[in-house]
Structure 1
Amino acid sequence: MEDKKKDIFNCGKELFSSKGFKKTNVSDITKVVGIGVGTFYNYFPSKEALFLEIFLEENVKLKKSIMEAIDLNDAPLELLKKLISLNINGMNSNPILKEWYNKDVFGKLEQQYREENGVNKVDFLYGSFVELFQQWQTEGKIRNDIDIELIMAFFTAIINMDTHKEEIGLQYFPQILEYMAEFVMNGLTNSPE
């Protein structure tokens, strides 16, 4: 039974990567795997649920590769800039993760995630960095009078800017992203007056 689920998962990953989320349907997956459409639903409640599981696995792999590529002893601002750059490059180079930029698709995925994990919980993207920010607070590298969830919201807001670069203006986007990271980190590293 687990082998069949793995086959569906791997086939879905391959088809979503090559055709995209919208152009892949359950019957495409079941034909390749050699099962009936009804059998698919014994393993996954929907195409969105399968894609979300694949997306989350790819996201974990990206976050792991980012953590292996950085030096946690770097200054917070330089480290944050590197984290942002590696994250954006990783998302853009992975066809599964790139669906993040498709607002229709990601809206469905976010809704699916909320239904499965609770309405207020959408921390699947950047939760792996909480420990880093907590360590910085402990070491006095960033302010400890700001709740860690609010700090993570700042980081998430910076990352989410990438999905709005057209509205911001492509000609300004790289500089705005860099300045926003600098402004946020300057605010987090300077004690309140």
Structure 2
Amino acid sequence: MDKKAEILRCGKELFSTHGFKSTGIADITKMAGIAAGTFYLYFSSKEKLFMELFLEENVKLKREILAAIDPNGDPLAVIQEMMKRNMEGMASNPILREWYNKEVFAKIEEKYREEHGLDYVDFMYTSFIEIVKNWQAEGKLRQDIDSEMIMAIFSTVIIIDEHKEDIGLQFFPKIQEYLTEFIIKGLTGTMDLPAGRQESVE
């Protein structure tokens, strides 16, 4: 028996059924049929195990999102579709859903930063910056802003997830929808301006 794989399987099942907070190492080892000492040969803590599962599920979701979007579509529609699929994916996956569980998100976010979680989805950055460059070349996005700066702007929408407690958990994930809309309208020159201040983006 691949003991690590069995720990991962049991951990995923228990976390998915009972949640991160209510699942203990003893529950996992009992289901896996191993001693506690064996668990610690592979994972230093419950948090470490959970984060490995979280990162795996997050990568899977992001790959599915990239495969589903139309890179030739309207930028606002594409970004909104990506955000929608991400939020629906997070909400429907019991492992990823813990990211918004106010009782445990601080621990999860701390471990996510320790594990350099953003590095695991770097492939999404690499793929999407090419889409951004194409949009700029086609005149769909402002060309006076560097593509890497645009990606940095998009990244801020993602990174504020790690500051939910400071901003207010009750605003998530809706705040990200609004920010995405405002950013895209600003980058496409379609932001509504007060009367007398209508400006076109050259």
TM-score tier by shorter-chain length is 0.7 to 0.9
- 1:134 partner letter: I
- 1:8 partner letter: I
Residues 109, 162 of structure 2: 8 Å contact kept: no
Compared with structure 1, are the counterparts of its residues 106 and 125 closer, same or farther at alpha carbon in structure 2 (3 Å cutoff)? Answer: farther
Residues in 1 aligned to 2:179 and 2:14: alpha-carbon distance in whole angstroms: 37
Q: CA deviation at 1:152?
A: 3.2
Match in the other structure for 1:105:
104
SS of equivalent residue, structure 2 residue 94: coil
Compared with structure 1, are the counterparts of its residues 162 and 104 closer, same or farther at alpha carbon in structure 2 (3 Å cutoff)? Answer: closer
Match in the other structure for 1:152:
154
Match in the other structure for 2:125:
130
Residues in 1 aligned to 2:162 and 2:99: alpha-carbon distance in whole angstroms: 10
- 2:107 partner letter: K
Residues in 2 aligned to 1:189 and 1:154: alpha-carbon distance in whole angstroms: 18
Compared with structure 1, are the counterparts of its residues 99 and 178 closer, same or farther at alpha carbon in structure 2 (3 Å cutoff)? Answer: closer
Residues in 2 aligned to 1:47 and 1:4: alpha-carbon distance in whole angstroms: 16
Compared with structure 1, are the counterparts of its residues 160 and 187 closer, same or farther at alpha carbon in structure 2 (3 Å cutoff)? Answer: farther
Residues 130, 152 of structure 1: 8 Å contact kept: no
- 1:64 partner letter: R
Q: Percent identity?
A: 48
Larger radius of gyration, structure 1 or 2? Answer: 2
Compared with structure 1, are the counterparts of its residues 152 and 186 closer, same or farther at alpha carbon in structure 2 (3 Å cutoff)? Answer: same
More displaced, 180-189 or 128-137?
128-137
- 1:189 partner letter: T
Compared with structure 1, are the counterparts of its residues 177 and 116 closer, same or farther at alpha carbon in structure 2 (3 Å cutoff)? Answer: closer
Match in the other structure for 1:185:
184
Compared with structure 1, are the counterparts of its residues 155 and 129 closer, same or farther at alpha carbon in structure 2 (3 Å cutoff)? Answer: farther
Match in the other structure for 1:65:
64
Residues 16, 94 of structure 2: 8 Å contact kept: yes
- 2:131 partner letter: W
Task: Give the structure-1-normalised TM-score.
Answer: 0.79
Q: CA deviation at 1:20?
A: 0.4
Match in the other structure for 2:75:
76
Residues 14, 28 of structure 2: 8 Å contact kept: yes
- 1:181 partner letter: T
Q: CA deviation at 1:60?
A: 1.2
Deviations 1:46-102 (A, max 9, x none): 000000000111111111221222211111110001001111111111111110111
Aligned pairs (5 A) from 1:1-193: 3-117=2-116, 123=118, 127-139=122-134, 140=136, 141-143=140-142, 144-145=145-146, 147=149, 150-156=152-158, 167-168=170-171, 178-190=177-189
Deviations 1:101-145 (A, max 9, x none): 11342221221233344xxxx525864431344113422143442
Task: Give the structure-2-normalised TM-score.
Answer: 0.76
Number of positions where the alignment pairs a residue of Structure 1 with one of Structure 2: 184
Gaps of 5+ in 2: 190-199
Gaps of 5+ in 1: none
Deviations 1:13-46 (A, max 9, x none): 0000001000100010101111111110000010
